[in-house]
């Protein structure tokens, strides 16, 4: 039954991948039906009495097995998913899907016209439904806050209190750093990254960049799309996507490494976990930790960029002919507050996240009215980023998440940053010559270290268990702030 | 329920398409599981008591509706599928799948070594299981011959006696024509089609050729693969595939038209039949009629080739610089017996089919032992094609069908030729200026005529009903033999 559910999920992932990379546009309507059918059939199985009975039987058989054994983990993780899924009435689920689909369409138009008012009723319905969704979990193991069930869908076992405390520390660490760097505005020139980069050469370079990452051979492909993502049709079938921009070279340099980082995680999951709920990453935060670690700490690091530099010169002689590796390194790590989250640098990115998390919390706790959201957004942007929001399109309407009915998701991006830094620290202790290895293109030792400690375990452990296993402590802002500050010190001389 | 079954089938079609065009090789094992799961879930629904009840209810509601109404057709066609599917025990079905999968692997090796003996036990099991499969239909509506149920899976309602009579007439018409043309061996020079054709230019030309066929815009794509096929993920999502050969220009000229012909059929099915068992072609013979009509009677016809000729010169100046349209037309229609079915010309192709059909019949009737099959194959090849078979790889082992456990399929290829000719005749009466339209690239009138009479009806009618509706009579060898003879007369002067 669990294998069937997994197969249905993976098939649906392929349908979604195809929809976003290959499908002729006229196929969209039929595709939506196909995806809905697979989702419905999988969900019927997930919430079935029969699965409950099978899990009871399996629990009896795995009684006494070690906590981390495959069988015990499978029963534990699957039972929790089963219990959570059964708490939500089918009608509510259907209503959420329908409403958020309408809201997403309304959002596209509202964003185009920078018209929050037209989007507001949709947002109200989304929030109302998510509140009802959260209410389904009253009395469910350990949930205390209305936001707990929302968060738990992405970070199983993490509480609002815990995440709130960590993100407050992060905010309080980042804000002075960002302020300090704002005083050095203009000290870094990243003009080499902007200009004219022929798309063919970008695609060729992107392919080479991914080829040299330690993904298993014959187990991945790279395709262009509009909104980049990575997905795994199986641990041995990784689909990376990217979007090329003629005027900016970020796609082949870092965007593909980011998506390949997600892919490296999925690709490293132990084959024996295949076709089970364990065959995914630990949590969204952990998933994001790997995209960000590979992108930011490998891909924007000096050893990697020094190695890449001659290749870049070959691909784009006009742009990089007179650019030395140090200039490239500085450009890759420029910090400057900006309005749009997805264009933000590594430092100020977290302020975008903290702000969204805080606003979500205030909305669900009831301290903030949805009608007042744009005002609150703009005030928080001024306070945290020192920027004035010129219109809602570049403000509260910029992200799809709320339109899609997704709340509790944003924090995982910053959790990913924190976890990435903790893992990066640990890997550098374990692999003392990591810089040298990266400089010579040897990325397999790092991959193997990560695979052994993190990737292969899939979703066996909760995020809290996993970080404890990895670094012997909880999620902690220290390593990340230290790393950011060290890099800023190198580049900005602060 | 029927919509769900359809969605599962279409999703599986996408998984199969992806497997053969895009999938990283390492994804194969997981993909097989995913496809098997979707097939199993769909089949469980198809044979369910619940579907029977739903069909009973629907039958009561559609009672009195016209035979060809959508609702009445849906109930009629779905009930027949349901009844057929329930006749076959799940274990037998599983055994057939397992055995034929092993047999296919054995066949690949046996063909490589031209070693029929190693393949024989697998073939014996395949035939034995198909015999048991046929026995499941004892007493089922109208089946009289052991081969009837096998044929019926591809040509619903066609009997062995009917197909046998038609193919015997075809054989007796083709053999003298082939013999006569064998006397003109060497009269047609097709060397312009063989040589060196850069793959990029072929791919470009293939794309242009398909673009100019009247497939709906934004509803198709073309991809390279190893064994070409066409599939429909929805009527508005057509996937055409082809294989390019550097030394032969057949892919962009005719192979893509063949596959696009299949696609035109699926693309023309009425949208209101979507997500139902009616949303497919009438039968394999009818499906093949359209690939062959577009390929052979449009694509190898003089008006089409005259229009294509300048384009061909541009794409391949060295090969076609000195070739005039008439030479191209003659080359496109050269007739010469050959050992390999898939390389055969339009005339002798049918002898390959008749021979296989006769051998299948003798095997299932018991007049031929499997061990004697190679000898029988070689004797029939000598008799019908006048060729000596040098080894089993180029003889009895050349096709995958029997290895895959597929019997009753081969005749549909020739039925497709016959139906194509009948439809082509009718379309030329209905569209008196068809040649002129083709010469000026106006293919929409032909497509619309076909859509109105054939495509839009999907699988509403049996093949016998459909051909009667189209031409006012049964499947008939006359039009095909006349057309072949007319073209041969033009080219060979016979």
**What tokens does B28 get?**
């194969």
- For A378: left if phi > 0, alpha if psi spans -120 to 50, otherwise beta; the answer is alpha
CB contact under 8 A, B236 and A33: no
CB contact under 8 A, B30 and A274: yes
Residues 6+ away with beta carbon under 8 Å from B474: B464, B467, B468
- Point out the residue among B15, B218, B274 whose CB comes nearest to the CB of A26: B218
If residue B384 lies in a helix (H) or strand (E), which one and from where to where?
A: helix B373-385
CB contact under 8 A, A7 and B33: yes
A139 pLDDT above the threshold of 90: no
Question: Binning pLDDT at 50, 70 and 90, where does residue A161 land?
Answer: very high
Q: Which residue is it, tokens 């869908």?
A: A153
Torsion angle defined by CA atoms of residues B271, B273, B278 and B283, in that order, rounded to the nearest 10 degrees: -20
CB contact under 8 A, B8 and A38: yes
**What tokens does A256 get?**
């593909």
A136 pLDDT above the threshold of 90: yes
Q: Chain B interface, mutation test: which of A9, A20, A25, A37, most B Cβ atoms within 10 Å? A: A37
Count of CB atoms within 10 A of residue A121's CB? 12
Torsion angle defined by CA atoms of residues A420, A426, A432 and A436, in that order, rounded to the nearest 10 degrees: -10
Contacts of B233 in chain A (CB under 8 A): 23, 27, 30-31, 34
Q: Chain B interface, mutation test: which of A13, A24, A219, most B Cβ atoms within 10 Å? A: A24
Contact of B483 with B424, CB cutoff 8 Å: yes
Q: Angle at CA A56, nearest 5°, toward A53 and A59?
A: 150
- Point out the residue among B3, B11, B25 whose CB comes nearest to the CB of A11: B11
CA B317 → CA B309, B311, B312, B399, B458, distances in Å?
11, 10, 8, 36, 43
Q: Chain B interface, mutation test: which of A10, A18, A26, A216, most B Cβ atoms within 10 Å? A: A26
Q: Which of A259, A266, A288, A360 is catalytic?
A: A259
pLDDT number for residue A141 = 80
Could you report the per-residue pLDDT of A261-281, keeping only the tens digit for each?
999 999 999 999 999 999 999
Contacts A–B by Cβ distance under 8 A: 121
Segments of chain B scoring below 50 in pLDDT: none
A280–chain B Cβ distance below 8 A for any pair: no
Give the distance from residue B489's alpha carbon to the nearest chain A alpha carbon, in angstroms: 43
Short-list B421, B383, B418, B415, CA closest to B179 = B383
Q: Are strands A237-242 and A220-224 parallel, antiparallel or unpaired?
A: parallel
Contact of B343 with B276, CB cutoff 8 Å: no
- Positive or negative, the CA dihedral A321, A323, A326, A328 is negative
Could you report the per-residue pLDDT of A60-80, keeping only the tens digit for each?
999 999 999 999 999 999 999
| pLDDT-wise least confident of A200-209, A353-362, B91-100 | B91-100
pLDDT number for residue B396 = 98
Give the distance from residue A401's alpha carbon to the nearest chain B alpha carbon, in angstroms: 27
B38–chain A Cβ distance below 8 A for any pair: yes
CB contact under 8 A, B41 and A10: no
Count of CB atoms within 10 A of residue B491's CB? 20
- Point out the residue among A3, A22, A218 whose CB comes nearest to the CB of B26: A218
CB contact under 8 A, A275 and B11: no
If residue B307 lies in a helix (H) or strand (E), which one and from where to where?
A: helix B302-315
- Taking the whole predicted model, whether its pTM rises above 0.90 is answered as yes
pLDDT number for residue B479 = 98
Could you report the per-residue pLDDT of A45-62, keeping only the tens digit for each?
999 999 999 999 999 999
CB contact under 8 A, B233 and A30: yes
If residue B292 lies in a helix (H) or strand (E), which one and from where to where?
A: helix B284-292
Separation CA A395–CA A399 (nearest Å): 9
A29–chain B Cβ distance below 8 A for any pair: yes
- Point out the residue among B8, B31, B219 whose CB comes nearest to the CB of A24: B219
Helices (H), B136-281: 148-152, 160-182, 199-211, 250, 256-267
Separation CA A428–CA A431 (nearest Å): 5
Q: Which residue is it, tokens 């000026």?
A: B440
Q: Is A246 a catalytic residue?
A: no
Q: What is the mean pLDDT of chain A?
A: 96
SS3 B267: helix
Beta bridge partners of B238: B220, B232
CB contact under 8 A, B31 and A234: yes
**What tokens does A53 get?**
């009975």
CB contact under 8 A, A38 and B7: yes
Separation CA A125–CA A95 (nearest Å): 10
Could you report the per-residue pLDDT of A305-318, keeping only the tens digit for each?
999 999 999 999 99
Torsion angle defined by CA atoms of residues B11, B12, B17 and B19, in that order, rounded to the nearest 10 degrees: 120
CA A413 → CA A205, A288, A410, A481, distances in Å?
27, 6, 6, 15
Beta bridge partners of A230: A240
- For B487: left if phi > 0, alpha if psi spans -120 to 50, otherwise beta; the answer is alpha
Contact of A24 with B218, CB cutoff 8 Å: yes
A413 pLDDT above the threshold of 90: yes
User: What are the b/e assignments for B138-161, b being 16+ CB within 10 Å?
Assistant: eeeeebebbbbbbbbebbbbbbbe
**What tokens does B254 get?**
């005719």
Residues 6+ away with beta carbon under 8 Å from B169: B477
A50–chain B Cβ distance below 8 A for any pair: no
User: Starting at the edge strand that comes first in sequence, how are the strands of the sheet with A237-242 ordered?
Assistant: A220-224, A237-242, A230-234
CA A123 → CA A90, A148, A409, A477, distances in Å?
21, 20, 16, 32
Q: Exposed, middle or buried by CB within 10 Å (0-12, 13-18, 19+), for B110?
A: buried
**What tokens does A212 get?**
């040299």
């Amino acid at each position: 039954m669990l294998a069937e559910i997994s197969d249905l999920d993976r098939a649906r992932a392929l349908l979604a991948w195809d929809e976003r990379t290959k499908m002729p546009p006229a196929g969209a309507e039929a595709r939506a039906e196909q995806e809905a059918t697979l989702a419905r059939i999988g969900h019927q199985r997930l919430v079935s009495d029969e699965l409950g009975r099978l899990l009871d039987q399996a629990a009896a058989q795995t009684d006494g097995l070690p906590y981390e054994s495959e069988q015990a983990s499978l029963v534990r993780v699957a039972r929790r998913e089963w219990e959570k899924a059964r708490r939500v009435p089918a009608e509510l689920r259907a209503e959420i899907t329908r409403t958020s689909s309408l809201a997403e369409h309304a959002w596209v138009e509202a964003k185009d016209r920078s018209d929050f008012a037209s989007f507001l009723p949709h947002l109200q319905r989304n929030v109302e439904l998510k509140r009802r969704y959260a209410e389904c979990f009253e009395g469910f193991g350990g949930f205390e806050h209305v936001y707990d069930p929302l968060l738990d869908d992405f970070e199983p076992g993490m509480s609002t209190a815990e995440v709130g405390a960590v993100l407050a520390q992060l905010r309080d660490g980042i804000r002075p750093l960002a302020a300090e760097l704002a005083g050095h505005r203009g000290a870094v020139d990243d003009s080499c990254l902007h200009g004219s980069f022929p798309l063919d050469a970008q695609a060729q370079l992107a392919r080479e960049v991914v080829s040299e990452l330690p993904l298993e051979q014959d187990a991945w492909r790279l395709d262009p799309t509009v909104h980049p993502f990575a997905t795994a049709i199986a641990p041995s079938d990784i689909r990376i996507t990217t979007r090329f921009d003629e005027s900016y070279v970020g796609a082949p340099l870092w965007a593909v490494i980011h998506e390949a980082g997600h892919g490296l995680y999925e690709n490293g999951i132990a084959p024996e976990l295949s076709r089970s709920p364990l065959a995914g990453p630990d949590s969204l935060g952990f998933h994001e930790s790997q995209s960000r670690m590979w992108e930011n700490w490998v891909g924007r690091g000096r050893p990697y960029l020094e190695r890449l530099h001659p290749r870049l010169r070959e691909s784009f002689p006009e742009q990089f002919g007179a650019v030395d590796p140090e200039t490239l390194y500085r450009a890759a790590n420029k910090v400057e507050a900006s309005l749009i989250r997805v264009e933000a640098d590594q430092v100020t990115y977290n302020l975008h996240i903290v702000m969204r998390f805080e606003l979500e919390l205030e909305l669900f706790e009831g301290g903030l009215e949805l009608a007042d959201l744009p005002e609150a957004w703009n005030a928080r942007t001024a306070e945290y980023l020192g920027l004035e929001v010129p219109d809602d399109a570049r403000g509260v309407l910029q992200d799809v998440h709320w339109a899609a009915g997704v709340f509790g998701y944003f924090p995982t991006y910053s959790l990913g940053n924190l976890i990435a830094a903790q893992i990066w620290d640990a890997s550098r202790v374990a692999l003392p010559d990591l810089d040298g290895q990266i400089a010579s293109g040897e990325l397999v030792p790092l991959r193997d270290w990560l695979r052994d400690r993190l990737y292969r375990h899939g979703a066996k452990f909760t995020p809290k268990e996993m970080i404890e296993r990895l670094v012997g402590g909880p999620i902690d802002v220290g390593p990340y702030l230290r790393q950011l500050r060290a890099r800023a010190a190198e580049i900005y001389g602060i």
